Structure 1
Amino acid sequence: MLAMTTPREALRASWEDQQNVHEPERELRFRLMLDYVGQLTGTPTRVLDLACGPGSITRRVLDRFPSAEVVAVDIDPLLLDLARDAFAGDPRVQVVARQLADPDWTDGLDGGFDAVLTATAMHWFPPSALAGVYAGVARLLRSGGVFANADHAPIAEPVLRSVADKLHDEHLRSTFADGVESCDQWYERAYADPRYAGLWEQRQQAFAHWSGDLLEREGWHVDLLRRNGFERAGAVWRQGNDALILAVRA
């Protein structure tokens, strides 16, 4: 007999669906992220999933490296609930509420991580806050540990950047015209669930300081990472105006 899908499982599945629409090469980015972690650190034993959402990266880390332990942090109350439900009873995973914009966001987190991984989240931070996130990541990583950030890092050349934006916009328009759910629609539907009554206001407060659309080129991020504790950094993959930037702690 097939197991019944719970409402939280259905929300996690539809999260994956809409994220795959917004980021068509999402699975490739995740695979490359873990490929580089394996090459640079060996089999990781401790991983930090930064801005974890419902646990997408955490799930892929555990599938790839079953012996790893993962600390997954986020601030969105609904996404934290979905992540805690996803890994309930799994001693390898600790899900923690943490406001990454706070200067002391690393307090209480044990360091020595082999890898810190994040996707499509860092572009929400203003530059000053992002510098604090990068510095905190460096403090939490062991020497030689890897930070992998898959996010928007536009092409520096303006004409090519504009073409990449146009191609991505055309992809979204054609996909959404077929009735596929967008990220904004997912949030609207998910927070309308009576189970999360009152949590939308908490989310609005938690994200009030986030600016969004920090569209700085790869080199800007590389410079910021090097100024905040990383020995080397660079993009290892690009699809249009999205890139996977890796940095290795000194």
Structure 2
Amino acid sequence: MSVSTSTARLWVDRWEQQQQRYAIDREERFTVVADVVEHVTSGHPSPRVLDLGCGPGSLPARLTERLPQAEIVAVDMDPLLLALARARHPDAARYVEAVIGDEGWTRALGLQGTVDAVVSTTALHYLPESVLRTTYAELTALLRPGGVLINADHLSQEEAGFAEIAEFVGVRRAERRHAFDHEDWEAWWSAVENEPELRELCAERRKPGPVHADCAVTLGRHVELLAEAGFGHASPVWQVGNSYVLVAIRQ
């Protein structure tokens, strides 16, 4: 099901505003992700990038501005968000509908050879630890040696005291930037349901499927799982409150 350019522009731009409520430094975080991809792919005429949980194409759109020759494959399980991405940012990526972690999901990507970078923003926190473990192992097979996995997401600390402080710092920063003045997640989805052009896609996404839940795998546990999967080292390269850009290098 296709979506008109005007409708996609309206709802994706509204999505971008809504997301500011949850990641006040979202644009800087996108920029850091692009910085890492640019560094790792220096000297590669056509960088190959896989975006996990691409939503309506926010990260691919920004990556192609920085790296116009990049070949980006963007995957998401939500048919409505993918339709919006294809209409709003049609040239930014090749969009694929698949459930990350499901059996055979990497084959559905249609990749020809390895990629230089796997990127993700505000998506992997939905995956339980058991799925993360297998997903990270699968991603080592997709990445070239020296390639990177870049996870930009909200990650908690193991120690309760530090986790509370990081969350508080993030909330106070958001309050100072008036982030909570923006529409929230539930309001955006409720409004989309009333858009005539998107009703069929809304019905499609309501079909039974995986249930999203915040699984809250800690930063330290992500690092351990990445090491188990074959990444030589993983470390944050940027942080504001509990929002991180975590980078892991494929051995």
Specify the TM-score bucket, using the shorter chain as the normaliser.
Answer: 0.7 to 0.9
Distance 1:209 1:131, change over 3 A: farther
Superposed CA RMSD? 2.2
Equivalent residue in structure 1 for 2:146, among 129, 144, 147: 144
With normalisation by structure 2, the TM-score equals 0.87
Are 2:222 and 1:217 equivalent residues in the alignment?
no
* Distance (Å, rounded) in 2 between the aligned partners of 1:245 and 1:148: 6
Greater Cα shift, 219-228 or 100-109 = 100-109
Identical-residue share of aligned pairs (%)? 37
Deviation at 1:202, TM superposition (A): 3.5
Count of residue pairs the alignment pairs up: 242
User: Which amino acid in 1 is paired with 2:14?
Assistant: S
> Which string of whole-angstrom CA distances, capped at 9 and with x for unpartnered residues, describes residues 156-203 of structure 1?
33223113323444566784764x201221122123212222434532
> Which string of whole-angstrom CA distances, capped at 9 and with x for unpartnered residues, describes residues 140-164 of structure 1?
1111111100112113332231133
With normalisation by structure 1, the TM-score equals 0.87
Q: How does 1:90-169 map to 2 (within 5 A)?
A: 90=91, 93-108=93-108, 109-110=110-111, 111-169=113-171
* Distance (Å, rounded) in 1 between the aligned partners of 2:236 and 2:20: 21
Contact 1:155 1:240 (C-alpha < 8 Å) held by counterparts: no
Unaligned runs of 5+ in 2: none
User: Which amino acid in 2 is paired with 1:229?
Assistant: G
Greater Cα shift, 50-59 or 38-47 = 38-47
1:47 aligned counterpart, secondary structure: strand
Contact 1:101 1:129 (C-alpha < 8 Å) held by counterparts: yes
Contact 1:113 1:140 (C-alpha < 8 Å) held by counterparts: yes
Distance 1:170 1:35, change over 3 A: closer
Q: How does 1:1-250 map to 2 (within 5 A)?
A: 6-42=6-42, 43=44, 45-88=47-90, 90=91, 93-108=93-108, 109-110=110-111, 111-169=113-171, 175=178, 178=181, 180-205=182-207, 207-210=209-212, 212-250=213-251
* Distance (Å, rounded) in 2 between the aligned partners of 1:52 and 1:206: 21
1:52 aligned counterpart, secondary structure: coil
* Distance (Å, rounded) in 2 between the aligned partners of 1:247 and 1:215: 19
